Structure 1
Amino acid sequence: MSKSVFTVHRRTQADRSAVTRKKIIEATVLLLQTQGYAATTLQRIAKTAGVSLGALQHHYPTKAQVMAMVLRHYALRRAQLYRLAMRGRTLPEQRVEAMLDAMWSLVSEGPDFVATVEIELARRSDPELAAATEPVLARIDQFMAGWLSGTRNGLPEQKFMTLRLLNTTFLRGMAVEISRGVSLDELAEAYALWRHFSRSEIMKIVHQMS
Protein backbone atom coordinates (compact mmCIF):
# COMPACT_ATOMS: atom_id res chain seq x y z
CA MET A 1 0.00 0.00 0.00
CA SER A 2 1.61 3.21 -1.17
CA LYS A 3 1.67 6.33 0.88
CA SER A 4 0.74 9.68 -0.56
CA VAL A 5 3.50 12.20 -0.25
CA PHE A 6 2.51 15.80 0.34
CA THR A 7 5.05 18.52 -0.21
CA VAL A 8 4.51 21.61 1.86
CA HIS A 9 5.72 24.75 0.19
CA ARG A 10 6.44 27.44 2.74
CA ARG A 11 6.61 31.00 1.61
CA THR A 12 9.94 32.67 2.11
CA GLN A 13 10.35 36.05 3.72
CA ALA A 14 10.94 37.49 0.26
CA ASP A 15 7.63 36.01 -0.93
CA ARG A 16 5.77 37.48 2.04
CA SER A 17 7.39 40.86 1.50
CA ALA A 18 6.41 40.84 -2.18
CA VAL A 19 2.80 40.05 -1.28
CA THR A 20 2.75 42.87 1.29
CA ARG A 21 4.19 45.37 -1.19
CA LYS A 22 1.63 44.34 -3.80
CA LYS A 23 -1.22 44.88 -1.31
CA ILE A 24 0.15 48.29 -0.38
CA ILE A 25 0.47 49.42 -3.99
CA GLU A 26 -3.03 48.21 -4.90
CA ALA A 27 -4.55 49.87 -1.83
CA THR A 28 -2.76 53.14 -2.57
CA VAL A 29 -3.91 53.18 -6.18
CA LEU A 30 -7.50 52.51 -5.14
CA LEU A 31 -7.48 55.27 -2.52
CA LEU A 32 -5.87 57.78 -4.87
CA GLN A 33 -8.53 57.10 -7.48
CA THR A 34 -11.50 57.21 -5.13
CA GLN A 35 -10.42 59.54 -2.30
CA GLY A 36 -7.68 61.75 -3.74
CA TYR A 37 -4.12 62.39 -2.60
CA ALA A 38 -4.79 64.28 0.64
CA ALA A 39 -7.07 61.54 2.00
CA THR A 40 -4.63 58.77 1.08
CA THR A 41 -2.80 58.64 4.40
CA LEU A 42 -0.47 55.88 5.58
CA GLN A 43 -3.09 54.81 8.10
CA ARG A 44 -5.78 54.46 5.43
CA ILE A 45 -3.41 52.66 3.08
CA ALA A 46 -2.53 50.15 5.79
CA LYS A 47 -6.19 49.57 6.69
CA THR A 48 -7.25 49.17 3.04
CA ALA A 49 -4.32 46.84 2.33
CA GLY A 50 -5.08 44.73 5.41
CA VAL A 51 -1.61 45.17 6.88
CA SER A 52 -0.38 46.82 10.05
CA LEU A 53 0.97 50.37 9.94
CA GLY A 54 4.27 48.98 11.18
CA ALA A 55 4.45 46.51 8.29
CA LEU A 56 3.71 49.29 5.79
CA GLN A 57 6.36 51.59 7.24
CA HIS A 58 8.88 48.75 7.27
CA HIS A 59 8.73 48.81 3.46
CA TYR A 60 7.90 52.49 2.92
CA PRO A 61 8.65 54.72 5.95
CA THR A 62 7.01 57.81 4.40
CA LYS A 63 4.01 58.61 2.27
CA ALA A 64 6.31 60.08 -0.39
CA GLN A 65 8.14 56.77 -0.70
CA VAL A 66 4.85 54.93 -1.15
CA MET A 67 3.91 57.30 -3.95
CA ALA A 68 7.29 56.89 -5.66
CA MET A 69 6.76 53.13 -5.62
CA VAL A 70 3.30 53.52 -7.18
CA LEU A 71 4.86 55.53 -10.00
CA ARG A 72 7.56 52.87 -10.50
CA HIS A 73 4.89 50.17 -10.58
CA TYR A 74 2.96 52.10 -13.19
CA ALA A 75 6.10 52.73 -15.26
CA LEU A 76 6.88 49.01 -15.36
CA ARG A 77 3.30 48.22 -16.36
CA ARG A 78 3.46 50.84 -19.10
CA ALA A 79 6.76 49.45 -20.42
CA GLN A 80 5.39 45.91 -20.47
CA LEU A 81 2.26 46.99 -22.29
CA TYR A 82 4.25 48.85 -24.95
CA ARG A 83 6.63 45.94 -25.47
CA LEU A 84 3.72 43.56 -25.99
CA ALA A 85 2.02 46.03 -28.34
CA MET A 86 5.18 46.45 -30.45
CA ARG A 87 6.03 42.76 -30.65
CA GLY A 88 6.19 41.57 -34.25
CA ARG A 89 5.50 45.02 -35.67
CA THR A 90 8.36 46.22 -37.85
CA LEU A 91 6.83 48.85 -40.13
CA PRO A 92 6.73 52.42 -38.74
CA GLU A 93 2.98 52.67 -39.38
CA GLN A 94 2.33 49.46 -37.44
CA ARG A 95 4.46 50.56 -34.50
CA VAL A 96 2.81 53.98 -34.27
CA GLU A 97 -0.70 52.51 -34.37
CA ALA A 98 0.18 49.88 -31.76
CA MET A 99 1.65 52.51 -29.49
CA LEU A 100 -1.39 54.77 -29.75
CA ASP A 101 -3.70 51.84 -29.00
CA ALA A 102 -1.57 51.00 -25.96
CA MET A 103 -1.90 54.60 -24.74
CA TRP A 104 -5.68 54.32 -24.75
CA SER A 105 -5.48 51.06 -22.81
CA LEU A 106 -3.39 52.74 -20.14
CA VAL A 107 -5.94 55.49 -19.62
CA SER A 108 -9.15 53.47 -19.92
CA GLU A 109 -8.31 50.17 -18.20
CA GLY A 110 -7.99 50.37 -14.44
CA PRO A 111 -7.25 53.11 -11.92
CA ASP A 112 -3.46 53.23 -12.31
CA PHE A 113 -3.23 56.23 -14.63
CA VAL A 114 -5.69 58.33 -12.61
CA ALA A 115 -3.65 57.54 -9.49
CA THR A 116 -0.44 58.75 -11.12
CA VAL A 117 -2.09 62.04 -12.09
CA GLU A 118 -3.18 62.54 -8.48
CA ILE A 119 0.43 62.09 -7.39
CA GLU A 120 1.78 64.45 -10.01
CA LEU A 121 -0.70 67.18 -9.10
CA ALA A 122 0.24 66.89 -5.43
CA ARG A 123 3.95 67.40 -6.15
CA ARG A 124 3.56 71.15 -6.63
CA SER A 125 2.79 71.72 -2.93
CA ASP A 126 4.79 68.86 -1.38
CA PRO A 127 8.59 69.25 -1.64
CA GLU A 128 9.25 65.83 -0.11
CA LEU A 129 6.97 64.16 -2.64
CA ALA A 130 8.53 66.12 -5.50
CA ALA A 131 12.03 65.03 -4.49
CA ALA A 132 11.06 61.36 -4.06
CA THR A 133 9.25 61.11 -7.38
CA GLU A 134 11.44 63.28 -9.63
CA PRO A 135 13.83 60.46 -10.69
CA VAL A 136 10.93 58.15 -11.56
CA LEU A 137 9.08 60.76 -13.61
CA ALA A 138 12.28 61.67 -15.46
CA ARG A 139 12.73 58.03 -16.49
CA ILE A 140 9.09 57.79 -17.59
CA ASP A 141 9.49 60.89 -19.78
CA GLN A 142 12.68 59.49 -21.31
CA PHE A 143 10.95 56.17 -21.94
CA MET A 144 7.97 57.81 -23.64
CA ALA A 145 10.15 59.96 -25.87
CA GLY A 146 12.15 56.90 -26.85
CA TRP A 147 9.09 54.91 -27.82
CA LEU A 148 7.63 57.77 -29.82
CA SER A 149 10.82 58.27 -31.80
CA GLY A 150 11.99 54.67 -31.95
CA THR A 151 15.28 55.81 -30.37
CA ARG A 152 16.15 53.64 -27.41
CA ASN A 153 19.58 55.22 -26.85
CA GLY A 154 20.46 58.88 -26.99
CA LEU A 155 18.27 61.96 -27.11
CA PRO A 156 15.36 61.87 -29.62
CA GLU A 157 14.69 64.63 -32.12
CA GLN A 158 13.16 67.78 -30.58
CA LYS A 159 10.03 67.29 -32.70
CA PHE A 160 9.44 63.96 -30.97
CA MET A 161 9.99 65.55 -27.57
CA THR A 162 7.35 68.18 -28.35
CA LEU A 163 4.91 65.55 -29.59
CA ARG A 164 5.55 63.44 -26.49
CA LEU A 165 4.62 66.43 -24.35
CA LEU A 166 1.42 66.92 -26.33
CA ASN A 167 0.49 63.24 -25.98
CA THR A 168 1.21 63.20 -22.26
CA THR A 169 -0.78 66.40 -21.72
CA PHE A 170 -3.74 64.96 -23.58
CA LEU A 171 -3.64 61.68 -21.65
CA ARG A 172 -3.49 63.50 -18.31
CA GLY A 173 -6.49 65.54 -19.38
CA MET A 174 -8.34 62.31 -20.20
CA ALA A 175 -7.58 61.03 -16.70
CA VAL A 176 -9.08 64.19 -15.19
CA GLU A 177 -12.22 63.71 -17.29
CA ILE A 178 -12.51 60.11 -16.09
CA SER A 179 -12.27 61.40 -12.51
CA ARG A 180 -15.08 63.85 -13.28
CA GLY A 181 -17.32 60.99 -14.37
CA VAL A 182 -17.25 61.47 -18.14
CA SER A 183 -18.17 58.16 -19.80
CA LEU A 184 -15.53 56.09 -21.53
CA ASP A 185 -17.69 56.03 -24.67
CA GLU A 186 -17.48 59.81 -24.96
CA LEU A 187 -13.79 59.79 -24.21
CA ALA A 188 -13.18 57.03 -26.75
CA GLU A 189 -14.64 59.26 -29.48
CA ALA A 190 -12.41 62.14 -28.39
CA TYR A 191 -9.39 59.87 -28.31
CA ALA A 192 -10.14 58.60 -31.81
CA LEU A 193 -9.90 62.18 -33.09
CA TRP A 194 -6.66 62.74 -31.19
CA ARG A 195 -5.27 59.40 -32.36
CA HIS A 196 -5.80 60.43 -36.00
CA PHE A 197 -3.98 63.72 -35.44
CA SER A 198 -1.13 62.20 -33.43
CA ARG A 199 -0.57 59.37 -35.91
CA SER A 200 -0.43 61.84 -38.78
CA GLU A 201 2.09 64.08 -37.04
CA ILE A 202 4.32 61.21 -35.93
CA MET A 203 4.39 59.75 -39.43
CA LYS A 204 5.30 63.15 -40.89
CA ILE A 205 8.36 63.27 -38.67
CA VAL A 206 9.25 59.65 -39.47
CA HIS A 207 9.08 60.31 -43.22
CA GLN A 208 11.15 63.49 -42.90
CA MET A 209 13.87 61.55 -41.12
CA SER A 210 13.94 58.64 -43.59
Structure 2
Amino acid sequence: MTISTAGVAGKPSPNKTSPARRKQEDRSRDARERLLGATIEILLKRGYSGLTTKEVAKTAGMSNGALMHHYATKAELVIAATKAVYDEWILRGQRIARTPGAVENPLEGFISDSTSVYFDWPYIAALEVVMVARTDEALMEHIVPVMQHYRETTNDLWREVFVQAGYTESDADTILNLTLNIVRGMGINRTWKRDDARYQALLSDWVQIVNQQYKPQPNKAVRKRPTAPAEP
Protein backbone atom coordinates (compact mmCIF):
# COMPACT_ATOMS: atom_id res chain seq x y z
CA MET A 1 0.00 0.00 0.00
CA THR A 2 1.27 3.50 -0.85
CA ILE A 3 0.74 6.08 1.87
CA SER A 4 0.49 9.68 0.77
CA THR A 5 2.66 12.16 2.62
CA ALA A 6 1.01 15.23 1.11
CA GLY A 7 0.76 18.02 3.65
CA VAL A 8 3.22 16.43 6.13
CA ALA A 9 5.29 19.15 7.79
CA GLY A 10 3.70 21.61 5.42
CA LYS A 11 5.47 20.13 2.39
CA PRO A 12 3.71 18.64 -0.61
CA SER A 13 4.73 15.17 -1.67
CA PRO A 14 6.99 15.00 -4.75
CA ASN A 15 5.14 14.26 -7.97
CA LYS A 16 6.62 10.87 -8.81
CA THR A 17 5.20 8.08 -10.88
CA SER A 18 5.40 4.64 -9.30
CA PRO A 19 7.22 1.85 -11.18
CA ALA A 20 3.91 -0.02 -11.55
CA ARG A 21 2.27 3.06 -13.04
CA ARG A 22 5.18 3.56 -15.42
CA LYS A 23 4.94 -0.04 -16.58
CA GLN A 24 1.22 0.38 -17.20
CA GLU A 25 1.84 3.58 -19.16
CA ASP A 26 4.54 1.81 -21.19
CA ARG A 27 2.16 -1.06 -21.96
CA SER A 28 -0.58 1.36 -23.01
CA ARG A 29 1.81 3.31 -25.22
CA ASP A 30 3.07 0.09 -26.81
CA ALA A 31 -0.51 -1.06 -27.43
CA ARG A 32 -1.45 2.23 -29.08
CA GLU A 33 1.65 2.14 -31.30
CA ARG A 34 0.84 -1.42 -32.40
CA LEU A 35 -2.75 -0.48 -33.16
CA LEU A 36 -1.78 2.61 -35.14
CA GLY A 37 0.87 0.69 -37.06
CA ALA A 38 -1.68 -2.00 -37.90
CA THR A 39 -4.18 0.66 -38.98
CA ILE A 40 -1.71 2.20 -41.43
CA GLU A 41 -0.76 -1.24 -42.74
CA ILE A 42 -4.40 -2.09 -43.48
CA LEU A 43 -5.09 1.33 -44.98
CA LEU A 44 -2.31 0.67 -47.46
CA LYS A 45 -3.59 -2.82 -48.27
CA ARG A 46 -7.36 -2.34 -48.31
CA GLY A 47 -8.10 1.36 -48.15
CA TYR A 48 -10.44 3.05 -45.70
CA SER A 49 -13.55 1.16 -46.80
CA GLY A 50 -11.80 -2.19 -46.33
CA LEU A 51 -10.48 -1.39 -42.88
CA THR A 52 -12.25 -2.94 -39.89
CA THR A 53 -11.42 -2.65 -36.22
CA LYS A 54 -11.53 -6.43 -35.96
CA GLU A 55 -8.76 -6.82 -38.54
CA VAL A 56 -6.72 -4.03 -36.95
CA ALA A 57 -6.90 -5.77 -33.59
CA LYS A 58 -5.93 -9.10 -35.13
CA THR A 59 -3.00 -7.56 -37.04
CA ALA A 60 -1.81 -5.86 -33.86
CA GLY A 61 -2.06 -9.16 -31.95
CA MET A 62 -4.72 -7.82 -29.61
CA SER A 63 -8.36 -8.49 -28.82
CA ASN A 64 -11.10 -6.29 -30.18
CA GLY A 65 -11.97 -5.37 -26.61
CA ALA A 66 -8.40 -4.16 -26.01
CA LEU A 67 -8.64 -2.04 -29.13
CA MET A 68 -11.92 -0.51 -28.00
CA HIS A 69 -10.29 0.37 -24.68
CA HIS A 70 -7.95 2.74 -26.56
CA TYR A 71 -10.06 3.75 -29.58
CA ALA A 72 -13.84 3.56 -29.34
CA THR A 73 -14.62 3.80 -33.06
CA LYS A 74 -13.05 3.18 -36.44
CA ALA A 75 -13.01 6.93 -37.12
CA GLU A 76 -11.22 7.64 -33.85
CA LEU A 77 -8.63 4.99 -34.67
CA VAL A 78 -8.03 6.33 -38.19
CA ILE A 79 -7.78 9.93 -36.97
CA ALA A 80 -5.15 8.90 -34.42
CA ALA A 81 -3.21 6.97 -37.07
CA THR A 82 -3.31 9.96 -39.42
CA LYS A 83 -2.02 12.24 -36.67
CA ALA A 84 0.81 9.80 -35.95
CA VAL A 85 1.80 9.89 -39.63
CA TYR A 86 1.83 13.69 -39.76
CA ASP A 87 3.76 13.92 -36.48
CA GLU A 88 6.40 11.61 -37.96
CA TRP A 89 6.63 13.89 -40.98
CA ILE A 90 7.29 16.86 -38.73
CA LEU A 91 10.16 15.00 -37.08
CA ARG A 92 11.59 14.05 -40.48
CA GLY A 93 11.54 17.68 -41.58
CA GLN A 94 13.20 18.88 -38.40
CA ARG A 95 16.02 16.38 -38.84
CA ILE A 96 16.65 17.51 -42.42
CA ALA A 97 16.31 21.24 -41.69
CA ARG A 98 18.87 21.01 -38.88
CA THR A 99 21.60 19.46 -41.02
CA PRO A 100 24.64 21.68 -41.79
CA GLY A 101 23.81 21.82 -45.50
CA ALA A 102 20.23 23.04 -45.08
CA VAL A 103 21.05 26.76 -45.01
CA GLU A 104 23.61 26.36 -47.79
CA ASN A 105 21.06 24.69 -50.09
CA PRO A 106 17.61 25.32 -48.60
CA LEU A 107 15.63 24.40 -51.71
CA GLU A 108 17.40 21.04 -52.07
CA GLY A 109 16.77 20.46 -48.37
CA PHE A 110 13.06 21.26 -48.67
CA ILE A 111 12.75 19.02 -51.71
CA SER A 112 14.46 16.22 -49.79
CA ASP A 113 12.03 16.72 -46.92
CA SER A 114 9.01 16.87 -49.23
CA THR A 115 9.91 13.81 -51.29
CA SER A 116 10.58 11.82 -48.11
CA VAL A 117 6.94 12.51 -47.27
CA TYR A 118 5.02 12.51 -50.55
CA PHE A 119 7.05 9.77 -52.25
CA ASP A 120 6.69 7.39 -49.29
CA TRP A 121 3.98 5.12 -47.89
CA PRO A 122 2.59 7.50 -45.22
CA TYR A 123 1.22 9.82 -47.90
CA ILE A 124 -0.80 7.01 -49.45
CA ALA A 125 -2.26 6.11 -46.05
CA ALA A 126 -3.08 9.75 -45.31
CA LEU A 127 -4.54 10.22 -48.79
CA GLU A 128 -6.91 7.31 -48.19
CA VAL A 129 -8.27 9.10 -45.13
CA VAL A 130 -8.45 12.53 -46.76
CA MET A 131 -10.42 11.20 -49.74
CA VAL A 132 -13.00 9.65 -47.43
CA ALA A 133 -13.12 12.81 -45.30
CA ARG A 134 -13.95 14.81 -48.45
CA THR A 135 -17.54 13.56 -48.18
CA ASP A 136 -17.60 12.94 -44.43
CA GLU A 137 -17.98 16.26 -42.64
CA ALA A 138 -17.42 14.84 -39.15
CA LEU A 139 -14.22 13.08 -40.18
CA MET A 140 -12.96 16.14 -42.08
CA GLU A 141 -13.54 18.30 -39.01
CA HIS A 142 -10.95 16.21 -37.16
CA ILE A 143 -8.52 15.68 -40.04
CA VAL A 144 -8.15 19.32 -41.13
CA PRO A 145 -6.51 20.50 -37.86
CA VAL A 146 -3.99 17.64 -38.14
CA MET A 147 -3.06 18.59 -41.71
CA GLN A 148 -3.03 22.29 -40.90
CA HIS A 149 -0.70 21.78 -37.95
CA TYR A 150 1.72 19.81 -40.10
CA ARG A 151 1.69 22.34 -42.93
CA GLU A 152 2.09 25.39 -40.67
CA THR A 153 4.84 23.76 -38.61
CA THR A 154 6.74 22.63 -41.69
CA ASN A 155 6.38 25.95 -43.51
CA ASP A 156 7.55 27.87 -40.43
CA LEU A 157 10.52 25.55 -40.10
CA TRP A 158 11.67 25.91 -43.71
CA ARG A 159 10.80 29.61 -43.98
CA GLU A 160 13.28 30.21 -41.19
CA VAL A 161 15.92 28.19 -43.07
CA PHE A 162 15.35 30.19 -46.26
CA VAL A 163 15.50 33.49 -44.39
CA GLN A 164 18.78 32.44 -42.76
CA ALA A 165 20.05 31.72 -46.28
CA GLY A 166 19.22 35.29 -47.30
CA TYR A 167 15.83 35.00 -48.99
CA THR A 168 13.01 37.41 -48.16
CA GLU A 169 10.03 35.87 -46.43
CA SER A 170 7.90 36.70 -49.47
CA ASP A 171 10.26 34.84 -51.80
CA ALA A 172 10.55 31.97 -49.32
CA ASP A 173 6.77 31.57 -49.17
CA THR A 174 6.51 31.56 -52.96
CA ILE A 175 9.27 28.98 -53.36
CA LEU A 176 7.89 26.78 -50.59
CA ASN A 177 4.34 26.71 -51.93
CA LEU A 178 5.32 26.16 -55.57
CA THR A 179 7.75 23.40 -54.63
CA LEU A 180 5.22 21.77 -52.32
CA ASN A 181 2.61 21.55 -55.06
CA ILE A 182 5.10 20.22 -57.61
CA VAL A 183 6.27 17.44 -55.28
CA ARG A 184 2.78 16.67 -54.02
CA GLY A 185 1.52 16.38 -57.59
CA MET A 186 4.33 13.96 -58.36
CA GLY A 187 3.43 12.01 -55.22
CA ILE A 188 -0.12 11.55 -56.49
CA ASN A 189 1.16 10.59 -59.94
CA ARG A 190 3.35 7.91 -58.33
CA THR A 191 0.25 6.03 -57.18
CA TRP A 192 -0.09 4.69 -60.73
CA LYS A 193 3.17 5.60 -62.48
CA ARG A 194 6.55 5.12 -60.81
CA ASP A 195 9.10 7.18 -62.74
CA ASP A 196 11.39 8.50 -60.02
CA ALA A 197 14.30 9.16 -62.37
CA ARG A 198 12.07 11.49 -64.39
CA TYR A 199 10.74 13.19 -61.27
CA GLN A 200 14.27 13.81 -59.98
CA ALA A 201 15.32 15.26 -63.35
CA LEU A 202 12.34 17.63 -63.30
CA LEU A 203 13.10 18.67 -59.73
CA SER A 204 16.71 19.40 -60.71
CA ASP A 205 15.36 21.64 -63.50
CA TRP A 206 13.11 23.33 -60.93
CA VAL A 207 16.11 24.07 -58.69
CA GLN A 208 17.88 25.75 -61.61
CA ILE A 209 14.81 27.85 -62.41
CA VAL A 210 14.47 29.00 -58.81
CA ASN A 211 18.18 29.81 -58.55
CA GLN A 212 17.92 31.96 -61.67
CA GLN A 213 14.76 33.72 -60.55
CA TYR A 214 15.46 34.31 -56.86
CA LYS A 215 18.72 35.69 -55.51
CA PRO A 216 19.41 35.40 -51.77
CA GLN A 217 21.21 38.22 -50.01
CA PRO A 218 22.92 36.58 -47.02
CA ASN A 219 24.62 39.74 -45.78
CA LYS A 220 21.61 42.02 -45.76
CA ALA A 221 18.87 42.36 -43.16
CA VAL A 222 15.60 40.82 -44.20
CA ARG A 223 12.44 42.81 -43.65
CA LYS A 224 9.82 40.59 -42.10
CA ARG A 225 6.17 40.65 -43.02
CA PRO A 226 3.06 38.86 -41.76
CA THR A 227 3.04 35.35 -43.16
CA ALA A 228 0.14 34.08 -45.23
CA PRO A 229 -1.84 31.12 -43.89
CA ALA A 230 -0.34 27.83 -44.98
CA GLU A 231 -2.39 25.60 -47.22
CA PRO A 232 -3.22 22.13 -45.82
TM-score in terms of structure 2 length: 0.69
Q: Which of 146, 155, 160 does residue 145 from structure 1 map onto? A: 155
Superposition pairs of residues 48-127 of structure 1, within 5 angstroms: 48-89=59-100, 92-109=103-120, 111-127=121-137
Distance 1:104 1:131, change over 3 A: same
Hey, what does 1:4 align to over in structure 2?
none
**How many angstroms does 1:146 deviate by?**
2.5
Identity between Structure 1 and Structure 2 (%) = 21
Q: Which amino acid aligns with 2:185?
A: F
**How many angstroms does 1:38 deviate by?**
0.4
Hey, what does 2:224 align to over in structure 1?
none
- The higher radius of gyration belongs to 2
**Secondary structure at the counterpart of residue 105 of structure 2:** helix
- Unaligned segments of structure 2, at least 5 residues: 1-18, 163-168, 219-232
Q: Are 1:192 and 2:197 counterparts?
A: no
- The structure carrying a bigger helix percent of its residues is 1
Q: Which amino acid aligns with 1:159?
A: T
TM-score in terms of structure 1 length: 0.75
**How many angstroms does 1:160 deviate by?**
4.4
**How many angstroms does 1:89 deviate by?**
2.5
User: Do the aligned residues in 2 keep the contact of 1:123 with 1:130 (CA within 8 Å)?
Assistant: yes
Q: Which of 206, 215, 223 does residue 207 from structure 1 map onto? A: 215
**How many angstroms does 1:30 deviate by?**
0.8
Hey, what does 1:15 align to over in structure 2?
26
User: Do the aligned residues in 1 keep the contact of 2:114 with 2:183 (CA within 8 Å)?
Assistant: no
Q: Which amino acid aligns with 1:30?
A: E
Hey, what does 1:5 align to over in structure 2?
none
CA separation in 2, counterparts of 1:172 and 1:39?
Answer: 23
Deviates more, 1:14-23 or 1:66-75: 66-75
- Unaligned segments of structure 1, at least 5 residues: 1-8
Q: Which amino acid aligns with 1:136?
A: V
CA separation in 1, counterparts of 2:214 and 2:103?
Answer: 8
User: Do the aligned residues in 2 keep the contact of 1:46 with 1:56 (CA within 8 Å)?
Assistant: yes
CA separation in 2, counterparts of 1:204 and 1:148?
Answer: 20
Hey, what does 2:165 align to over in structure 1?
none
Aligned-residue CA RMSD (Å): 2.9
**Secondary structure at the counterpart of residue 207 of structure 1:** coil
**Secondary structure at the counterpart of residue 148 of structure 2:** helix
Q: Are 1:176 and 2:191 counterparts?
A: yes
Q: Which amino acid aligns with 2:90?
A: A
Hey, what does 1:6 align to over in structure 2?
none
Superposition pairs of residues 125-140 of structure 1, within 5 angstroms: 125-140=135-150
Tell me how many residue pairs correspond in the alignment.
191
**Partner deviation per Cα, 1:158-209 (whole Å, 9 max, x = no partner):** 52464255146325414523xxxx4xxx431132133224434554675267
**Partner deviation per Cα, 1:106-159 (whole Å, 9 max, x = no partner):** 3445x322101111111112222111211101112212332443379xxx6452
